[in-house]
């Protein structure tokens, strides 16, 4: 049980990680390490992206499913790992 | 009349009509006609047809039919059914000559009655309109129950008025003019109220969804699962109820952690996959080792790596056994599993009470791990289970060793499909352990006895006859054949079948044999290393080593490479890794590289990865370093032009054989 907490703590302490957000299936953030406004913004926008990506993958082959999504931008990298009911968003700047 | 000429008839007819209008009767007309006929013979109109007598006498037949001469005879209508014009068979022959809408009503008809009624009312209303209205009001007041007199008065008035009103309508009502009173009352008209209530509108929600292929697929899957559940009627297995949301995320969190690590160590990951040292081309035969990830665990800081083992099924997973080689510093130990995908934190870790000295992962069942401890116990861990204790553990009752267990090896399942493994220990016993249901059953396979030291010790006490086994290895193909290295520096070739005798003994080293390993390809070759600074390669049919290498420091471990029969690597106490390729250089290492920073770190173990060109090296500070082999260290024989390069173990065997034969020949010639 505490493994997950520990894992998240370790992720948070990794080099360059700016924040972690846990979002539920409807796009409402449940737990976050960022401030409120950023969290809400990230959650809303990323939720749509993930739904679209998942839809794309599954449309091509319904037996397939999305395991991971990475959006690399100039300033940082957003990694999203979707689960059945939740997804985990981590924002990292690896060159920090 | 039939003899009348045509024009005569015509004129006759005209005359008829004119007469009719004036309302004369027929007789007069007849007379008129006769008069005219009389006049015929005398007067002839100037434009009369001249006809012969015969023609005049001709009879003309006139038929009166009911047909309307003006009715069209060939009306055609378009039939949509047949999509063509069709002639209508029967044409209406009715000819209307005169039409006049009248306004006479029968007196008994509905309309007439209605009109009568209407006409009746307007007559009366006109006369007594205002008076009637006035009369009604006092009547209302009268209904409140006033005195008779007033009422009478009102009634009298009413009477007069009512008489008036009634006159127009029907027959007059005869009323007493003296004390007639008419009473009427009106019931209280309840004031009308309108009541309504509004219900709360039912809650509405708008729903929208897209019907994608995968949504349909999902629904079908659920249906199928439901059906299956109904069929099975399985007992409800109590699931672990996770209260908090966060615990559901275990798998996802793991993936993210690995990805974050990949990002952090991105360059290492790239190197691992793609980097090939180009300078090897210019380096002739030498190669290098590129350091990749470094694995360390906080809680294992003061322990040394005592065992390494790659997992055969999951090629990126390896096990590290931690303990201590130091006799004086014995304490706890740890069993840690790392994956190359996450170098910062182990996948599994099991703390143990005693230091681990050896471990082995089952080749077919990658979740079973056999571990040998410093205190002589052996244990089996099941990675699938959650608990941190081993599933099986030997105890002093069940035949545990009395000395540290130096090596464990899984064997093929026995005839009852029980897993079993062997262990060798300093107490001189090679023991086979079988996992039977929930306990370990041991069988002594062989007792290592000291060879050659039969002399009696002082005071007549027989010297200890047990040798101390420090390592062993089973032949890859011949299942029952195995080698045991002892603390005395001897290597014994044994068979599982013979428990008291060795098949062969080799005087290998001057100090304890730290590792002995069969070659992966060639069935006759094995290698051994020892703290006496040497590494020796043997052919098991020959009692002397084929190759001897001196490495200038105590050799901790040696390992054959899985891709070539002539390549092996050794680690020494001065922190260097030596890689040899006998096919290229028979006398020297093609790579000698220090891999740990400080010289006081001793390297203790080395293992090649079965598929990737990397090696892991453990040291006595608890770190495991991974290194990538440069291309020169993995060289394959050059292909001749036009020929396809044969691959496979036969090639490797042949390679080795060639080497050996070269060595044997000079020996033979010498001999």
Q: Do residue B217 and residue A63 have CB atoms under 8 angstroms apart?
A: yes
Q: What is the rounded CA–CA span in Å between residue B518 and residue B653?
A: 13
Highest mean pLDDT among B12-21, B199-208, B227-236, B381-390 belongs to B199-208
> What's chain B's average pLDDT?
76
**Three-state secondary structure string covering B13-79:** HHHHHHHHHCCCCHHHHHHHHHHHHHHHHHCCCCCCCCCCHHHHHCCCCCCCCCCCCCCCCCCEEEE
Highest mean pLDDT among B133-147, B593-607, B619-633, B640-654 belongs to B619-633
Taking the mean position of all CA atoms in its chain, how far away is CA B147?
A: 97
Please, which pLDDT band fits residue B649 given cuts at 50, 70 and 90?
Answer: low
**Residues of chain B with C-beta less than 8 angstroms from the C-beta of A5:** 246
Percentage of chain B beyond pLDDT 70 is 76
Given a cut of 60, whether residue A38 has pLDDT beyond it is yes
Q: Do residue A83 and residue B252 have CB atoms under 8 angstroms apart?
A: yes
| Chain B residues with at least one Cβ partner in A under 8 Å | 210, 212-214, 216-218, 242, 245-257, 259-261, 263-264, 266, 344-345
B265 or A94: whose pLDDT is higher? B265
Q: pLDDT tens digit string along B287-306?
A: 888 888 888 888 877 888 88
The answer to which of A17-31, A41-55, B34-48, B431-445 has the lowest mean pLDDT is B34-48
Question: Nearest C-alpha of chain A: how many angstroms from B352?
Answer: 19
For residues B236-249, average pLDDT: 55
Q: Do residue B246 and residue A81 have CB atoms under 8 angstroms apart?
A: no
Given a cut of 70, whether residue B554 has pLDDT beyond it is yes
Q: What is the rounded CA–CA span in Å between residue B504 and residue B330?
A: 35
φ, ψ of residue A2 to 5 degrees: the values are -75, -10
Q: Do residue B259 and residue A16 have CB atoms under 8 angstroms apart?
A: no
- Give the residue from chain A lying closest to B246, CA to CA: A4
A95 or B454: whose pLDDT is higher? A95
Q: What is the rounded CA–CA span in Å between residue B607 and residue B626?
A: 10
The reported pLDDT for the residue numbered B556 is: 87
Given a cut of 50, whether residue B154 has pLDDT beyond it is no
For residues B355-359, average pLDDT: 88
Please, which pLDDT band fits residue A40 given cuts at 50, 70 and 90?
Answer: very high
Q: Domain A16-92 - what CATH class? A: alpha beta
Q: pLDDT tens digit string along B457-485?
A: 445 555 556 677 788 888 888 878 888 88
The reported pLDDT for the residue numbered B236 is: 52
Q: What is the rounded CA–CA span in Å between residue A73 and residue A42?
A: 14
Q: Which two three-digit tokens encode residue B90? A: 């029967």
Contact, B339 vs B313, CB < 8 A? no
For residues B557-570, average pLDDT: 87
B636 or A28: whose pLDDT is higher? A28
Please, which pLDDT band fits residue B146 given cuts at 50, 70 and 90?
Answer: very low
| Domain limits, chain A | 16-92
The answer to which of B386-400, B404-418, B471-485 has the lowest mean pLDDT is B386-400
Radius of gyration (Cα) for chain A, nearest Å?
14
Please count the residues of chain B: 671
Percentage of chain B beyond pLDDT 90 is 2
For residues B391-407, average pLDDT: 78
Minimal Cβ distance to B213: which of A11, A62, A85? A62
For residues B499-522, average pLDDT: 84
**Residues of chain A with C-beta less than 8 angstroms from the C-beta of B259:** 68, 70, 79, 81, 90
Q: What is the rounded CA–CA span in Å between residue A58 and residue A47?
A: 16
B654 or B667: whose pLDDT is higher? B654
The reported pLDDT for the residue numbered B222 is: 92
B219 or B657: whose pLDDT is higher? B219
The reported pLDDT for the residue numbered B169 is: 54
Q: Do residue B255 and residue A5 have CB atoms under 8 angstroms apart?
A: no
**CA quadruple A82, A15, A40, A5: dihedral positive or negative?**
positive
Q: How many CB pairs under 8 A join A and B?
A: 92
Given a cut of 50, whether residue B140 has pLDDT beyond it is no
**Residues of chain A with C-beta less than 8 angstroms from the C-beta of B261:** 14
The answer to which of A23-37, B143-157, B198-212 has the lowest mean pLDDT is B143-157
Given a cut of 60, whether residue B220 has pLDDT beyond it is yes
The answer to which of A73-87, B255-269, B644-658 has the lowest mean pLDDT is B644-658
- Please enumerate in sequence order all residues whose Cβ is within 8 A of that of B13, keeping only pairs 6 or more positions apart, or say none: none
Q: Do residue A88 and residue B253 have CB atoms under 8 angstroms apart?
A: yes
For residues B119-125, average pLDDT: 63
Q: pLDDT tens digit string along A2-18?
A: 778 888 888 888 888 99
For residues B256-273, average pLDDT: 84
Q: pLDDT tens digit string along B571-592?
A: 988 888 899 888 788 888 888 8
The reported pLDDT for the residue numbered B141 is: 46
For residues B607-620, average pLDDT: 89
**Residues of chain B with C-beta less than 8 angstroms from the C-beta of A82:** 252
For residues B122-149, average pLDDT: 47
Q: Do residue B260 and residue A14 have CB atoms under 8 angstroms apart?
A: yes
- Please enumerate in sequence order all residues whose Cβ is within 8 A of that of B553, keeping only pairs 6 or more positions apart, or say none: B533, B572, B573, B574, B576
The answer to which of B169-178, B491-500, B599-608 has the lowest mean pLDDT is B169-178
Q: What is the rounded CA–CA span in Å between residue B649 and residue B655?
A: 10
DSSP state of B192: P
Q: Which two three-digit tokens encode residue B521? A: 């390809």
C-alpha closest to that of B361 among B371, B353, B349: B371
Please, which pLDDT band fits residue B149 given cuts at 50, 70 and 90?
Answer: very low
**CA quadruple B235, B238, B239, B244: dihedral positive or negative?**
positive
């Amino acid at each position: 049980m505490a493994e997950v907490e520990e894992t998240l703590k370790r992720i948070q302490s990794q080099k360059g990680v700016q924040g972690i957000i846990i979002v539920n299936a409807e796009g409402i953030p449940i737990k976050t390490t960022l401030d409120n406004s950023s969290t809400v913004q990230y959650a809303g926008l990323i939720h749509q992206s993930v739904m679209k990506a998942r839809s794309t993958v599954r449309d091509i082959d319904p037996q397939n499913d999305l395991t991971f999504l990475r959006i690399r931008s100039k300033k940082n990298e957003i990694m999203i790992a979707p689960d059945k009911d939740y997804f985990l968003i981590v924002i990292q700047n690896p060159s920090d | 009349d039939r003899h009348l000429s045509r024009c005569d008839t015509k004129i006759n007819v005209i005359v008829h009509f004119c007469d009719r209008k004036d309302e004369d009767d027929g007789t007069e007309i007849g007379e008129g006609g006769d008069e005219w006929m009389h006049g015929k013979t005398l007067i002839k109109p100037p434009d009369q047809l001249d006809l012969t007598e015969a023609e005049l006498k001709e009879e003309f037949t006139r038929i009166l039919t009911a047909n309307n001469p003006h009715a069209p005879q060939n009306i055609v209508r378009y039939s949509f059914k047949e999509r063509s014009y069709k002639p209508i068979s029967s044409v209406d022959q009715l000819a209307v000559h005169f039409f006049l809408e009248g306004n006479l009503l029968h007196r008994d008809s509905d309309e007439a009655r209605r009109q009568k009624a209407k006409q009746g009312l307007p007559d009366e209303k006109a006369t007594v309109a205002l008076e009637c209205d006035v009369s009604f009001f006092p009547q209302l007041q009268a209904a409140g129950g006033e005195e008779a007199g007033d009422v009478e008065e009102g009634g009298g008035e009413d009477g007069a008025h009512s008489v008036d009103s009634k006159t127009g309508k029907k027959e007059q009502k005869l009323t007493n003019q003296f004390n007639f009173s008419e009473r009427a009352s009106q019931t209280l008209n309840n004031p009308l109220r309108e009541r309504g209530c509004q219900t709360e509108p039912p809650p509405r929600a708008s729903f929208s969804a897209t019907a994608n292929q995968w949504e349909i697929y999902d629904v079908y899957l659920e249906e199928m699962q439901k059906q299956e559940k109904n069929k099975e009627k399985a007992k409800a297995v109590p699931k672990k109820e996770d209260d908090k949301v966060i615990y559901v995320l275990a798998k996802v969190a793991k993936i993210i952690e690995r990805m974050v690590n990949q990002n952090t160590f991105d360059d290492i990951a790239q190197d691992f996959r793609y980097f090939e040292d180009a300078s090897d081309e210019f380096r002739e035969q030498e190669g290098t080792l590129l350091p990749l990830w470094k694995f360390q665990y906080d809680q294992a800081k003061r322990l040394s790596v005592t065992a390494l083992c790659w997992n055969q099924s999951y090629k990126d997973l390896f096990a590290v056994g931690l303990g201590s080689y130091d006799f004086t510093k014995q304490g706890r130990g740890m069993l840690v599993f790392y994956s190359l995908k996450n170098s910062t934190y182990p996948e599994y870790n099991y703390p143990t009470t005693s230091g681990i000295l050896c471990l082995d992962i089952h080749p077919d069942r990658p979740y079973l791990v056999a571990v040998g401890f410093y205190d002589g116990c052996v244990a089996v861990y099941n990675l699938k289970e959650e608990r941190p204790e081993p599933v099986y553990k030997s105890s002093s009752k069940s035949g545990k060793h009395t000395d540290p267990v130096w090596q464990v090896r899984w064997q093929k399942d026995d005839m009852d499909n029980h897993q079993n493994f062997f262990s060798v220990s300093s107490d001189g016993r090679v023991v086979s352990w079988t996992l039977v249901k929930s306990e370990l059953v041991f069988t002594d396979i062989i007792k290592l006895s000291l060879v050659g030291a039969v002399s009696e010790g002082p005071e007549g006490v027989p010297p200890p006859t047990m040798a101390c086994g420090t390592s062993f290895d089973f032949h890859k193909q011949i299942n029952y054949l195995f080698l045991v290295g002892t603390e005395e520096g001897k290597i014994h070739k044994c068979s599982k079948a013979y428990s008291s005798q060795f098949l062969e003994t080799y005087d290998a080293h001057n100090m304890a044999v730290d590792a002995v390993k069969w070659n992966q390809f060639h069935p006759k070759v094995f290698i051994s290393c020892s703290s006496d600074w040497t590494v020796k390669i043997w052919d098991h049919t020959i009692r002397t080593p084929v190759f001897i290498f001196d490495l200038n420091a105590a050799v901790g471990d040696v390992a054959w490479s899985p891709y070539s029969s002539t390549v092996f690597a050794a680690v020494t106490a001065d922190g260097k890794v030596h890689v040899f390729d006998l096919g290229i250089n028979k006398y020297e290492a093609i790579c000698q590289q220090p891999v740990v920073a400080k010289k006081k770190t001793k390297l203790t173990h080395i293992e090649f990865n079965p598929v990737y060109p990397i090696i892991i090296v453990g040291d006595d500070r608890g770190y495991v370093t991974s290194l990538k082999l440069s291309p020169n260290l993995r060289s394959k024989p050059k292909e001749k032009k036009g020929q396809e390069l044969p691959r496979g173990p036969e090639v490797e065997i042949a390679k080795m054989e060639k080497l050996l034969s070269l060595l044997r020949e000079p020996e033979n010639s010498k001999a």
